[in-house]
Structure 1
Amino acid sequence: MASRWIPFVALLWEFQCCVCREVTLPAGPLYRVAGFSLSLPCAVSGYEGPRTQDFEWYLYREDAGGRQIGVVSTRDAGFPYAPFQSRVQAGEVRVERDSGDKARLIIQRLRPDDQGRYECYTPSTDTRFLGNYSSSVVVKVIPDTLLITHSRILSGQPVIEGTELQLTCAASVQSDQHTHVSVTFGVRTSRGAESLGHNLREIIGFDRELRVTPGRSGAYGRRYRDGEIAVEKRRGDGGRDQYVLKMSALAPEDSGSYFCEAAQWIRDPDGKWERLAQRTMELGNLTVQPLAETLSVRTVPDGDVSLRPGAPLRLRCQVLGVGVWKRSALLVQWMRRGPAGGVEVEVVRVDPDGVVAWGDDLSRAGGGSMEKEADGSFSLHLFSIHPADAGLYCCAVSVYAGRRTPAPESPATITQRSEWVTVSLKTEEVRVSASIDLPRRPLLKRGSTVTLLCNVSVEATGASRVEVQWLQTPEEPARKDPALSEDSGRLLLATLSYDGLTRIYSNGSDLSVDRVSAGCFRLRIFSAAEEDQGHYQCRAQVWAQDPRGGWYSTGAEAQSVTVHLYLYARVTDLLLLPLVIGVSSALFVGILIIATVTCCFMSRLARQRSRIRKYSMAKSKALVRASLVTL
């Protein structure tokens, strides 16, 4: 009978144990460093009574023979013993609650004599005395051996955006326990000119497991992935490890007060990491000046430059305020606008890789050069300047701060231009006139060859040549290539260039252009058709020779008056319509007569066939009757 109650008693005992009071502390021993804080969490569960429980802390020193020392209590202000009374009153030793049944003992600055066994006791609020009302853990206080030093500090002098920064600090720990060291570089930046305090940002460092960890604030994560910031660990003298911060390109937002922070860590028996000690070394202040405040671009010479055609043009672009030249790549461009403004075009550029590319005028690749004379000095040299080169010039410089070889799609840190330089030419006076002649003897007819003559007269002091263009305004504009159209509906038919090259733009196989004499140019239209009728005009442009033997357009030109081309019809064209009508009428009458005769003949033939058929049938019937009579 008694055996039936054994399971029930065991279940009741297990239930009582589940609801009995239990006080827990972290597993020990715990190692902490003298001079730094101690935080011991204590929790109570399975209790009866109010949710807010009281906590009392005792210390059992190793050299006190197990004597109990009251540290602090949540319910009795007079609880602390003499060794802790002043520290409790000063708040250095206190209890902080995490909740009603969880609290922690805080000792801000541990002393060597704080070593011992700490007991957390919770006064009973239960109806029955069941369970565990206290728990204890051993705390070992080890000496502070964390050392941190630096090799140099920042001078405080401003540096230019894009400058490289390298800071070094050394950290070491001498401990019998297995501890780890973490090192972090950081910066304190001002929050604003009108606000107090600082904004602390971690840049990069090694964590307690020697993993490189970039700061979460700012763009340090992206800059670390892009290789702009890095940290290295090196073996130093005296057993001290050196930690080196490298920032390849400083930005204005990197200004501030730099520091190096080292911390000593230990893994407690429960597997959690605990920071034992921490020290911070100030590395000095840094001010990064934006390139917009330091960069300057100017052109030498400045103002106005006046030259004669064929003379060399040399312009120099000087760049200042970039900082260390080997740290930043430059893209230098020479830009030009017309004398009266207008569209801006690129003359030439040299990219960060030193490759020169000519822009608007590819022929300049053989008639000019773009050179880097020294750091910050780039020259544009046109060997022989022409009127087309006159205008406004400026130098545009794009700086890639802290990047020696930027990617093609990378944006420049800043782009700045120089003042415009006016380049003008002292040109010789050139006079030119043009007239057009359309001989009308014999009478111009369709299908004949039409000849137009352009007479050009030039007055120039030096050698000159003429380029002639032929223009047509059709009577009825036809659908042609829009590229051939000129203003006012004119079409560019052909060109005879100054160097003797002929370009035919319309009716290629039916046109020819040649030079009859020194000032006479001829356009011939073979087998002229109706669409060749219209108004014709010639235009002459004068080219001159520079001292180097090159030819350039002087800009002087003249246009002739227009002549009207009208083509008469040929005799064969006039007789064509009557001939066609006569032949058509004759064919119609002939076909009508043949059709009438044929119809009459067929009718007569049909009647003859009918009479013969009737006669044959009558004869057949007579024979049949004769046969019957005989029978």
Structure 2
Amino acid sequence: MAPWWITFIALLWELRCCFCREVTLPAGPLYRVAGFSLSLPCAVSGYEGPRTQDFEWYLYREDAGGRQIGVVSTRDAGFPYAPFQSRVQAGEVRVERDSGDKARLIIQRLRSDDQGRYECYTPSTDTRFQGNYSSSVVVKVIPDTLLITHSRILSGQPVIEGTELQLTCAASIQSDQHTHVSVTFGVRSSRGAESLGHNLREIIAIDRELRVTPGHSGTYGTRYRDGEIAVEKRKGDGGRDLYVLKMSALAPEDSGSYFCEAAQWIRDPDGKWERIAQRTMELGNLTVQPLADTLSVRSVPDGDVSLQPGAPLSLICQVSGVGAWNRSALLVQWMRRGPAGGVEVEVARVSPDGVVAWGDDVSRAGGGSMEKEADGRFSLRLFSVHPADAGLYRCAVSVYAGRKTPGPASPATITQRSDWVTVSLKTEEVRVSASINLPRRPLLKRGSTVTLFCNVSVEITGASQVEVQWLHKPEDSTKKDAALSEESAGRLLATLTYDGLTRIYSNGSDLSVDRVSAGSYRLRIFSAAEEDKGHYQCRAEVWSQDPRGGWYNTGAKAESVTVQLYLYARVADLLLLPLVIGVSSALFVGVLIIATVTCCFMNRLARQRSRIRK
């Protein structure tokens, strides 16, 4: 174990050295490429004097026998030797300060004869000379072998939003050193605010470690995660690597001048990666037209269409301006509004996967068709139109630009609608009237069968049928004579359809409806109860037969006035209460008499037994 005084002296020496001047440069050797820049950072620490220190650089060429060549100085404009004077004056060789005690030597374009050992020297500002005042590093200048080519260049012709783009860039290097290559695809935009200088955007890159990284600006990150942007590395001819950019659906913001940038990287002895060479290849200009400027949707025929009931209706939706038909999915819908306007409802649709669905009228699935006849041509056909089909029609087209199979929740890129087509029917005049009859004899009592008649009169040419509905509104104790109205419509009891089907919606009693004779319809309520009292009304709708044999609602309807049903109490019901009271009273008196007699008899018998014992 060393004596304590030796340890103490060593500590004093180390403490003294902590306050010694020290100049540092990166560890070498450093390999840089001819024609590209060199940046050598130099730092000084442990100094005395002003915070702003001066720096001087020297070069010791390998072929100069160790002769010192002055490169550049921060304090002496005449410091550079002849090989560097013109380059320093032109600014190609210069010093850039990071701080007062940190500066870097910049050689903008390296030459092969710039290879050698570079020394960074800091003139002393200390009161005593101690520490090191310079440091050096070896710089090797290797030839430039980075090559970058392209397979084709953009023509500059406009393309439609949703078009696919594929660009290929080839890069290669031939170096004895272990270097890596990174490739970046980017675009210079000239749209809007980006033209003010912030117009360079990186789209996607394969970095020096073969990692794919999307650009940080715009929506490139989201589009990369959604699979709309990708880059691949492939093996090409002659030892070159091919880098392929794929954009499945171009957007208007993708317009601009495209380029491919290749960079050569090397790992320095300190472990840091340094870009030592870089080249950019212009790939041409691209203009993406928004679908809003190119999409066209129109209905054929346009204007007015007038038909007879039962005639077929054929409408065509023509779509253009979506680019390649196999690139974008379409959702095509036929919409309808009433002749007087109102709510717009869906008649039918063809989904992006080709499935046809019927909207507001599911029965049309058997009486019509909707299909894609050709690219951009979609037809809607109703085999037999009825008055309910009259109204305003138009087609709505939603385009999913660049997506062949969009998800159910995927938003459409754009939706455009055609002009309205007015479809009217030349219907004949139909007259209909309805009246209701409630026989009053004999008196209607609870438990009786109530019969109501609805008499309908129709004036129409051709075959017709009537559909009858029966409605009931319970008795209102405050308004006993209240009639049915649109605001206070009664509850639907039963319907006798035009084709003879009976639908009972029961109010708690047994019901039946039937057709007694031509124009006469009957409603019967069996065992009428108290809740059956109230107001009754019948409604009639006329159905006609079209030339194809189908039945349709003409829209002609009539309502009867209302009748009031009142149920009287039965005789048995009137006698029931007195009878119950009488029987109950008789039973009570009888029981009371029997109890009294029995009690008296038992008391008398008890007295007789007590006399005998005595």
Matched, 1:126 2:122: no
Q: Give the match for residue 51 of structure 1.
A: 51
Distance 2:511 2:485 in 1: 17
> 1:89 maps to which residue?
89
SS across alignment from 1:488: coil
Instruction: Name 2:389's counterpart in structure 1.
Output: 389
Q: Tell me which residue corresponds to 1:151.
A: 151
Deviates more, 1:206-215 or 1:598-607: 598-607
What is the one-letter code of the residue matched to 1:337?
Answer: R
One-letter amino acid of the structure 2 residue matched with residue 471 of structure 1 = L
Mapped partners of 2:536, 2:581: distance in 1: 38
- How far 1:505 sits from its partner (Å)? 1.2
Residue 295 of structure 1 deviates from its aligned partner by 1.7
C-alpha separation between the residues in 1 aligned to 2:10 and 2:423? Answer: 109
Shift of 1:26: 1.7
Q: How does 1:587-598 map to 2 (within 5 A)?
A: 587-598=587-598
Structure-2 residue corresponding to 1:628: none
**Alignment CA distance shift 1:444-1:165 (3 Å):** same
Residues 509 and 525, structure 2, Cα contact 8 Å, conserved in 1: no
The 1-side partners of 2:477 and 2:387 are apart by 35
Separation (CA, whole Å) in 2 of partners of 1:41 and 1:443: 118
Partners of 2:51 and 2:557 in 1: how far apart? Answer: 105
Q: Which moved more, 1:366-375 or 1:23-32?
A: 23-32
User: Which structure 1 segments of 5+ residues have no match?
Assistant: 479-483, 617-631
**In the comparison of the two structures, how many residue pairs are matched?**
608
**Whose radius of gyration is greater, 1 or 2?**
1
1:171-209: CA deviation from partner (whole Å, max 9, x where unpaired): 222222222211100112236369633421111011112
The alignment yields a C-alpha RMSD, in angstroms, of 2.5
The corresponding residue for 1:40 is 40
Q: Give secondary structure in 2 for the equivalent of 1:405.
A: coil
The alignment partner of 2:199 has SS state of: strand
> Aligned residue for 2:611?
612
Distance 1:545 1:361, change over 3 A: same
Partners in 1 of 2:195 and 2:252 — Cα distance?
19
* 2:499 matches 1:499: yes
Q: Shift in Å at residue 564 of structure 1?
A: 3.2
Q: 1:598 to 1:36 in 2, by over 3 A?
A: same
User: Does structure 1 conserve the Cα–Cα contact (< 8 Å) formed by 2:189 and 2:195?
Assistant: no
- Alignment correspondent of 1:533: 533
Which residue of structure 1 lines up, in the alignment, with residue 345 of structure 2?
A: 345
In the aligned structure 2, how far is the partner of 1:5 from the partner of 1:456? 131
Matched, 1:413 2:413: yes
Match for 2:124: what amino acid? S
The separation in 1 between residues aligned to 2:530 and 2:272, in whole angstroms, is: 101
Relative distance call for 1:188 and 1:489 in structure 2 (3 A) is same
Query: Under a length normalisation based on structure 2, what TM-score does the superposition of the two structures give?
Result: 0.93
Give 2:372's aligned residue.
372
Between 1:374-383 and 1:7-16, the stretch displaced more is 7-16
Report the residue type matching 2:574 in the other structure: L
Aligned to 1:66: 66
Contact 2:509 2:528 in 1 (8 A): no
Q: Secondary structure at 2:583's aligned position in 1?
A: helix
Partner of 1:188: 188
Residue 28 of structure 2 corresponds to residue 28 of structure 1: yes
SS at match of 2:196: coil
Instruction: Give the match's secondary structure for 2:488.
Output: helix
- CA, structure 1 residues 471+6, in 2 after alignment: closer, same or farther (shift >3 Å)? closer
Does residue 300 of structure 1 match 2:300? yes
For 2:424, the equivalent position in structure 1 comes to 424
Q: Give the counterpart letter for 1:307 in structure 2.
A: L
Aligned 8 A contact 1:346 1:359 in 2: yes
Superposition pairs of residues 63-462 of structure 1, within 5 angstroms: 63-190=63-190, 192=192, 196-462=196-462
Alignment of 1:556-571 (within 5 A): 556-571=556-571
When residues 39 and 592 of structure 1 are mapped into structure 2, their CA distance, relative to the original with a 3 A threshold, is same
Structure 1 CA distance for aligned equivalents of residues 311 and 423 of structure 2: 12
Mean CA deviation greater in 330-339 or 569-578: 569-578
- Is the deviation greater in 41-50 or in 321-330? 41-50
Q: Is the 8 A contact 2:352 2:405 kept in 1?
A: yes
The alpha carbon displacement at 1:599 in A equals: 4.3
| TM-score for the superposition, normalised by structure 1 | 0.91
Q: Is the 8 A contact 1:264 1:278 kept in 2?
A: yes
CA contact (8 A) 1:36 1:109 kept: yes
Q: Distance in 1 between matches of 2:211 and 2:464?
A: 78
